Amino acid sequence: MFLNIINDRYEYVYINPGNVIHTDYVQERDRIDMSTHMKSYVDFYTIANAEKVFLAKIPPLYNSTFPSTAALLYNRGCGEILYRDGIFIIN
C-alpha cells in the first residue's frame, strides 16, 4: 500500500492508524465501525494543520479533493505531486 511505502521511507511522515476508506464508495453491505470514520476525521484535521499539503496525482491513486479541502480550513496552499515519463514533478 502507498501509505506504508511512504511511511517506511521517510521518517518525517506520520500515518494515523486505522483503515482508509472513501465514504462515497461505502456500501450498505460494508461494515464500517465508528473508528473508521474517526480516522477520516483525524486525517482531515492532521492534514489541515500540516505546514505543507500535497495531493499525489499518481496512478492508481484516487484523484481526491480531500487534502486540498483540508488545506482550505486554515488557509494553507495545496501542491500536487505528478508522475510523468518516470519523473516526479512537484507543483
* pLDDT digits 0-9 by tens, 5-58: 888 888 888 888 877 776 666 665 556 667 777 888 889 999 999 988 988 888
Helix, strand, coil shares, percent, the chain, to 5? 35, 20, 45
- Between 54 and 60, whose confidence is greater? 54
Determine the pLDDT at residue 28: 57
Look up the pTM and report it.
0.71
**pLDDT for 32:** 65
At residue 69, the 3 state secondary structure works out as: helix
